[in-house]
Each structure stands twice: as C-alpha cells, then as structure tokens.
A and B are shown apart, each in its own frame.
Chain A
Amino acid sequence: MKKLFALLLAGMMILSLAACGAKKEEPAADSDTAYVKANGKIVVGITDFAPMDYKEEGSDEWIGFDADMAKLFAEYLGVDVEFIEINWDNKAMELETKAIDAVWNGMTLTEEVMKLMGTSEAYCNNGQVVVVNSAVADQYQTAESLSELSFAVENGSAGAEQLDALGLEYTALQTQANALMEVAAGASDACVIDLLMAGAMIGEGTSYPELTYTVQLNSEEYGVGFRVGSDLVDSFNAFWKDAYKDGTVMEVATTYGVQESIIAK
C-alpha cells in the first residue's frame, strides 16, 4: 500500500515534469494584429514616467502623451487598451512572452532595443542630459569637466550607454527616478536622464528644486516597441501619419508640453 502510494507520487512528479517539457504545436505567429483583435484589447507595457505615462493625484487613469496616443491607437484598431506597469528591465521578455503587446513609454530607439523588438518609426526627439545640483552647475558645462563627478544612471538605459562611451564610471540603478534620488540625497554627484524627463521633474516648482541640468550628451529618438516581425508596426506607422496630418498628435503633445520635441511626419 505504502509503496504503491510512493510509486504514484513519483509517477505524478515525473508526469508534471514531462508536461513542462511538452511543446505546444502552434503555427509560427502570423498576424499580431489579428491576435490583438481576437483578444479585444492591446496590452501596453509602461512605467510611471511623466509626462509620457503617469497618473494624476488621486486618479486611477493613466494619462500622458504616450498613454493618450495609445488610447487613440487602440481606438484605431477597434480594441480596448490596457496599461500594465512593468519592470522596465524585463520589457523584451514581457513582449516576447505576450504578457504585453507593446512597449510605449518614451522608449529610446537604441541599437539594443531595435534588435530585441519590432520598432516603429521615431515620433519624438529626446536627448540625455547631465543633472547636477544647481550650486555647482556652472563648473560642469562641458563634457570634459564631467570626469571628476560620480554618476548614477538607470541600468541599461540610453544614459548608461552615453557614460560608457565617455568611459565614465557610474552606479546603475533600477529607474531614472532612483538616479535622481541619488543626486538629491548626495549619494552621487550627478545623474544622466532623459531631457524630456528632466524638463518635467527638476528645477523650480518641482519636487527637486535644487537640481538642474547642464550638458546634453547626445540626441536620440523615441519609438514604440512591438514583437519582432509584428505587423502592428505597420499599423502604427500608418496610424501615426494620419494622426499627425489631422493635427491630433500636436494637440495631445501640447496638452503635456512636449510639442517642441515631436518629429514632423
């Protein structure tokens, strides 16, 4: 009796292992657009990133330039939109495993991103800027002067790439906001973040009035990421062109103060 039970248990364990290994027979992903339409919703992976994707105090709705445009894109596809706050480090895996259908969150089109995702045409200009305490800002107005600073930067971000290119050491953190906190707390002398974010989050009238930005290290562009080879990329590009022509894009951009960065189509 006991042995039988033991055998049964062992059998179950092996079976469950085998079940893990079984491959599901599925034709290679054909149309991503069809997949999204069948689901009735497009799942957009975001982080809390003003002014692109954020929530107003006391509200549960995601707004921002990217969030509002994502809603319009969903409407264009005839589906609902669902926003999911993801861990930014895992964005490629989230897409690949269909946990989300798009990464739409002020994402810089780096070589790495374009390799891992099917990316849209660029829609917004951005740059990486150096943020320091305003008391010392005048000493660090050139790229050459930066070598004596200790840096904080978001892990794997475009800012980290710039610092790598300059051969500067840095501490890698989970988010750009964490990098800002490092500087505010005095743990690092400076951080490198997106120009758009710096414009919205530091300086007078913001939460970090004592910080300011100095050198712009590069210029770059934002795009939306889909799965590799996804036909949603074409849908998106067509949608964006129309939305730009009829003025919708600029209208939404003006609401969130990013109109100067929008790329003309």
Chain B
Amino acid sequence: MFWDVTLTLLEGFGGTMKLFVLTLIFALPLGLIISFGSMSRFTPLRWLTQTVVWIVRGSPLLLQILIVYYGPGLMFGLPLLPRFTAALLTFVINYACYFSEIYRGGIQSIPRGQYEAGEVLGMTRSQIFFKVTLLQVIKRIVPPMGNEFITLVKDTALVRVIAVYEIIWMGESFIKKGLIWPLFYTGVFYLVFNGLLTILFGRLEKKLDYFR
C-alpha cells in the first residue's frame, strides 16, 4: 500500500519536475533579455518592458494560468493550447519577469568604477559585461535565485486548476478512495527536493567565494 502510493506520487512528482525543469530552461535566459529591456536607454522599450513586468508580477499566477489556457478560446474562439503547454508558457513568462528583476539588481550592484576602468582599457561594452561583470553578478544573485527556485517548485501545484496532473492532484485523487494521508505525504517529496536544492545552492555559493 505504502509502496503503491509512493509510486503513484512519484509519477505525479514527475509532472512537477517536468514543469520545474522546463520553466527554468526557458525562463532563465528570457529573464536576462527582459532585464536588458528594463535597463535599456531606449525609453519606449524600457517603458514597455516595465509595464509587462508590472502586469506579470502584479497579478496572481493562478489567474494568469486560467487566462492563458481559457482566454484564447473564450475571447476569440481560437483553438486552445495543450494544457501542459499553456501551463509552461505561463510559468516561463511569470518567472522570467521575477528573474529579470533579480538580474537587474545584480547587474546594477556592480560599482560604476569597474565599467569606467574597462573603458579606459579600451574594452567594448559587451567585453566588459561578459569578462568583468557577469561572474560577479552570478555570485551576487545566487541567494535570491535560490529563493525563486524553491518558490517555483511549490508554485507548480497551481497548475492543477487547469487539470495538469502533478503531485498534489495525485495526492488528492487518493481521497476519493478513502485515503487521506497520501495528500499530506506529498509534502515529504517537496521537502526532500527543496532540501537538495538548498544544499546545491549552498555549494554553489561556496564555489563562487573566491570573488571576495
């Protein structure tokens, strides 16, 4: 019994992991692009990006999932995206916006003098960014990124609102068979995985310690 439940929940956790990993793969680079947009010296682009970031960060993720999945069909009669794709799209956009602000914070925390020094040495702006700034930025954004990663793991539970099956959905399905404990048991999976993430981020921070 315990073993059967564990297997079913693991299957559900597979869905959770798929969403988690794919969201990171797309949102991490997209976030960087958005952060460039919100730091751009070209005002309309900066204004546009900041508006998008405001909308995405300012409204509930749950609502965004519903809008992305049902919205096109309800408003324009368009065919719907597959459920998982809609969920992934929402998560990528949402998390890219959060990541972009973390990147921006990291990039803008690098002292002005380093850019000036780079310029004096005749480096181009992109050379300065990739050779001088980037690694320092990575070191600085590790702790807030760890926060976001852990939040992302738990936020995946929201997608069951459009019937994308993940571990909580699987846990709840046992209630109908009269088993209540599997729902609470799902917490162990989150805890173990987030524990691993915490250790991983701790190690990463140590590795990047040589900057100071």
Q: Which residues of A contact B (CB under 8 A)?
A: 3, 6-7, 9-10, 13-14, 20, 22-24, 26, 48-50, 54, 84-87, 89-90, 93, 96-99, 174-175, 177-178, 180-181, 184-185, 201, 206-208
Task: Kindly supply a per-residue 1/0 record for chain B positions 35-74, scoring 1 wherever the CB is within 8 Å of any chain A CB and 0 otherwise.
Answer: 0010010101100100010000000000000100110111
* B contact residues around A181 at 8 Å (CB): 175, 180
Contact present for A206 and B178 (CB under 8 Å): yes
Contact present for B78 and A24 (CB under 8 Å): yes
Asked if B196 lies at the interface with its beta carbon under 8 angstroms from chain A, I say: no
Measured in the bound complex, the distance between the Cα atoms of B48 and A69 in whole Å is 53
Asked if B13 lies at the interface with its beta carbon under 8 angstroms from chain A, I say: no
| Interface SS majority for chain B | helix
Measured in the bound complex, the distance between the Cα atoms of B76 and A26 in whole Å is 10
**Would A48 and B173 be within 8 Å (CB), given that A85-B163, A207-B178 are in contact?**
yes
By beta carbon, the residue of chain B nearest A28 is B77
Contact present for B176 and A185 (CB under 8 Å): no
Q: B51 CB to closest chain A CB, in angstroms?
A: 10
Asked if B207 lies at the interface with its beta carbon under 8 angstroms from chain A, I say: no
Q: Which residues of B contact A (CB under 8 A)?
A: 33, 37, 40, 42, 44-45, 48, 52, 66, 69-70, 72-74, 76-80, 83, 160-163, 165, 172-173, 175-180
Contact present for A97 and B74 (CB under 8 Å): yes
Contact present for A10 and B161 (CB under 8 Å): no
* B contact residues around A49 at 8 Å (CB): 176
Contact present for A87 and B163 (CB under 8 Å): yes
Contact present for B42 and A6 (CB under 8 Å): yes
* B contact residues around A22 at 8 Å (CB): 76
Measured in the bound complex, the distance between the Cα atoms of B72 and A26 in whole Å is 14
By beta carbon, the residue of chain A nearest B47 is A10
Q: B157 CB to closest chain A CB, in angstroms?
A: 13
Measured in the bound complex, the distance between the Cα atoms of B67 and A163 in whole Å is 31
A/B pair count, beta carbons within 8 Å:
82
Contact present for A99 and B80 (CB under 8 Å): yes
Measured in the bound complex, the distance between the Cα atoms of B72 and A2 in whole Å is 34
**Would A96 and B45 be within 8 Å (CB), given that A24-B78, A181-B180 are in contact?**
no
Q: B20 CB to closest chain A CB, in angstroms?
A: 21
Contact present for B177 and A86 (CB under 8 Å): no
By beta carbon, the residue of chain A nearest B162 is A87
Contact present for A24 and B77 (CB under 8 Å): yes
Contact present for B176 and A48 (CB under 8 Å): yes
Measured in the bound complex, the distance between the Cα atoms of B17 and A19 in whole Å is 31
By beta carbon, the residue of chain B nearest A88 is B163
Q: A173 CB to closest chain B CB, in angstroms?
A: 10
Measured in the bound complex, the distance between the Cα atoms of B40 and A34 in whole Å is 52
Measured in the bound complex, the distance between the Cα atoms of B46 and A10 in whole Å is 9
Indicate which residue in A96, A178, A185, A207 contacts B74 across the interface (CB closer than 8 Å): A96
By beta carbon, the residue of chain B nearest A8 is B45
Q: A90 CB to closest chain B CB, in angstroms?
A: 7
* A contact residues around B162 at 8 Å (CB): 87, 90
Contact present for B178 and A97 (CB under 8 Å): no
Contact present for A90 and B161 (CB under 8 Å): yes
Indicate which residue in A10, A20, A93, A207 contacts B45 across the interface (CB closer than 8 Å): A10
* B contact residues around A207 at 8 Å (CB): 177-179
Measured in the bound complex, the distance between the Cα atoms of B178 and A177 in whole Å is 8
Contact present for B180 and A26 (CB under 8 Å): no
Contact present for A7 and B42 (CB under 8 Å): yes
* B contact residues around A175 at 8 Å (CB): 172, 175-176
* A contact residues around B40 at 8 Å (CB): 6
Measured in the bound complex, the distance between the Cα atoms of B175 and A98 in whole Å is 29
* B contact residues around A89 at 8 Å (CB): 161
Can you give 23 A-B contacts (C-beta < 8 A)? A6-B42, A10-B44, A10-B45, A10-B48, A13-B48, A22-B76, A23-B77, A48-B173, A50-B176, A54-B176, A84-B163, A87-B163, A89-B161, A93-B73, A93-B74, A96-B73, A98-B73, A98-B79, A174-B172, A175-B172, A180-B175, A181-B180, A208-B178
